[in-house]
Amino acid sequence: MFSRLLIANRGEIAVRVIRTARRLGIATVAVYSDADRDALHVRMADEAVNIGPAPAAESYLVAERIIGAARATGAEAIHPGYGFLSENPAFVEAVEQAGLTFVGPSAASIRAMGLKDAAKRLMEEAGVPVVPGYHGDAQELVLLAGKAREIGYPVLIKARAGGGGKGMRRVDDPDKFADALASCRREAKAAFGDDRVLVEKYIEKPRHIEVQVFGDKHGNVVHLFERDCSAQRRHQKVIEEAPAPGMTAEMRAAMAQAAVKAAKAIDYAGAGTIEFIVDGSDGLRPDGFWFMEMNTRLQVEHPVTEMVTGVDLVEWQLRVAAGERLPLTQDEIELTGHAFEARVYAEDAAKGFLPAIGTLHHMRFPDRVASGGRIRVDSGVAQGDAITPYYDPMIAKLIVHGDDRRTALESLAEALGETRIAGSTANIAFLKALTENGAFAAGDVDTGMIERNLDELTIRPEPNRSAVFQALLAASGFTSAPTSGDPWEVAAGYGHFHPLTRTVRLKRNEEMLEASATPVAGGRVRLEMEDATSTFPLSGRAEPKLRGGSDRFATDTPALQYGDLSPSGSDNHALWPGHVTVFDGACGHDFEIPDPFAAAEDRGAGDRLIAPMPGLVKLVRANVGDTVRRGAALLVLEAMKMEHTITAPHDGAIAEIAAEGAQVSEGTVLVRFAESG
């Protein structure tokens, strides 16, 4: 076994590899960009080496710097994680030429599966079923459009390199094929440096089921059962589970046999995943699945397989890379219980899953649930760390295991309801809503399910009066429980000539909220708004008494209980610079604490559009002087590896618009409209 390992990655996968290496007694070396100088994986590793500026192209994707760091620190092997250089055959060869061991498959195996069209031709030769489509080299629009007509609409245009849903579009109308193709090519070129595509038949009720395979350098290949990754949005996985709901023994045997056959066809060694698209319109049938692609690396969702098999896949990777045989034979690998993984992202589901950035001022995950399921949290960040615009905005993966699917799903829902994140918008409420969706709960899942139910899954509930009062209490400063019944003792920071009653102001969206806060006997604080009054205890579990009513806030649910701790030790609110967040189950309601010295806001904001995050102006579709209608596409902003279309909020004439190719920061004016009249 190796004595020192370099991890050529960042975030949660780097942390994940470090934990297994530490258990095996292997010293670890982290690499980091300037933006990751204080990252969790850097703090956890035995040694860390800076490899360049924040952009991945200048750091994590520079093979020479990573190999140089390995040689300088005496590392014997390099684990690539996933993403970045993990499926780059040239990097594998460079690692081996440097006398180091690459923890993964051979360069030849990666090349064989690296291009979707070539991989599908190879699978056809190996007897693995593939989806009908065009996988040829010719890329002319006329030819591709003709092939699409031959296949029959709807069709799917896919970048032949890469994955993760980038460079992928469904097309239902022949008249929209050209625009979809152009968009795919731009996105594929930006993400993978290759704008070539393939065209396939779109399966009407598709399920995404994949099989985990593992091979060693002695010719042995096994499978570790399947995972269902059908819960997707924008072709990105949201919640994964193992085993697949509705799976039959006959179907599992057919898929597993095809997956092992695919791995053996390329002499595969290491962890890999064979992804299948499955026709879920009439149950799972052995003749209703087709090879989609192979990921020649560890998958993001590998923990669900570990939970149902008890296998540490990273340990297997290290042992296979060191030349050992697979630790278990096929007959020795058992499937036990059910597991889910939910991907917690810094993103705003109610705004089209717009990626978010910010400091994680408060972050807590439960370590147990009442339903009895097991919980595991894989994260590359800790409280106080920042989500930056440079990399994938994943905060954590919340993984649960139960004796059966129902128990596991209940555990996941409960765990999400007790997760607390403040400082950056997160998708927790969306994930919780998905676990409570009737179709998902019944296992009736396909890749279009989220899109069909998007409105109900992304509803952003308004805070009820209890939550508003909790926020006002937190911002008041009256948060210390007294040791006696003296009402003066509760007045934190009280001094002579200071009024005992305080005026508390908060801002929620565009509405200013104001209340007076007064300490009263019994260790309580009375909050009075214009139309309602609430008296709160400063500790304990008693509910506040509400008097008065208002239609401004949602109907009250049972009042949040100040100081009522979750199993992780987090409470019901978080104070962070200029803000307070009140947690109501999976929902976090953010309130702004106004700065009395802040300048008046720009009154002309309605006549301009600003960049919601740093990014690149990829495409400009309007010119200065154009008169546009509300909803018209004005430009495409590329940020967080995705394209975002910026549209006109109202009718008007364009007075100024950002230049195509411009790199903009958050808050930059992208479009300014001429004054009307």
Reduced to 3 states (helix: H, G, I; strand: E, B; else coil), residue 227 is strand
CA 510 centroid distance within chain = 29
d(C-alpha 72, C-alpha 223), whole Å? 37
Q: Helices (H), strands (E): how many in the chain?
A: 17, 39
DSSP 235-251: TEEEEEEES-TT--HHH
DSSP 121-162: HHHHHHT--B-SEE--S---HHHHHHHHHHH-SSEEEEESB-
Write the single-letter amino acid at 435.
T
Q: What share of the chain is helix, strand, coil (3-state, %, to 5)?
A: 30, 30, 40
Using alpha carbons, select from 390, 435, 486, 516 the residue that is nearest to residue 61: 390
d(C-alpha 135, C-alpha 199), whole Å? 7
CA 334 centroid distance within chain = 29
d(C-alpha 199, C-alpha 168), whole Å? 10
Residue whose entry in the numeric block shows the structure tokens 């065209």: 199
d(C-alpha 377, C-alpha 363), whole Å? 12
d(C-alpha 310, C-alpha 402), whole Å? 13
Return the DSSP state at 554: B
HSE-CB of 27 using CA atoms within 13 angstroms? 11
Using alpha carbons, select from 611, 612, 606 the residue that is nearest to residue 652: 606
d(C-alpha 356, C-alpha 426), whole Å? 8
Is 436:457 a contact under the CB 8 Å cutoff?
A: no
Q: Are strands 615-620 and 627-628 parallel, antiparallel or unpaired?
A: unpaired
Determine if the peptide bond prior to 243 is cis (ω within 30°): yes
Q: Which of 16, 227, 252, 297 is catalytic?
A: 297
What is the edge-to-edge ordering of all strands in the sheet holding 168-171?
133-134, 197-201, 155-159, 168-171
258 dihedral zone (left: phi>0; alpha: psi -120 to 50; beta) = alpha
d(C-alpha 284, C-alpha 282), whole Å? 7
Q: Which two tokens stand for residue 66?
A: 């990573």
Q: Is 297 in the active site?
A: yes
Query: Among positive and negative, which fits the CA dihedral 181, 661, 64, 45?
Result: negative
Query: Among positive and negative, which fits the CA dihedral 236, 238, 242, 247?
Result: negative
Q: Which two tokens stand for residue 545?
A: 């008494």
Write the single-letter amino acid at 250.
E
Residue whose entry in the numeric block shows the structure tokens 């980091």: 32
Reduced to 3 states (helix: H, G, I; strand: E, B; else coil), residue 568 is coil
d(C-alpha 550, C-alpha 652), whole Å? 38
Write the single-letter amino acid at 123.
M
Return the DSSP state at 643: E
Return phi, psi of residue 499, to 5°.
-70, 140
Q: Which two tokens stand for residue 191?
A: 């993400």
Give the active site residues: 297
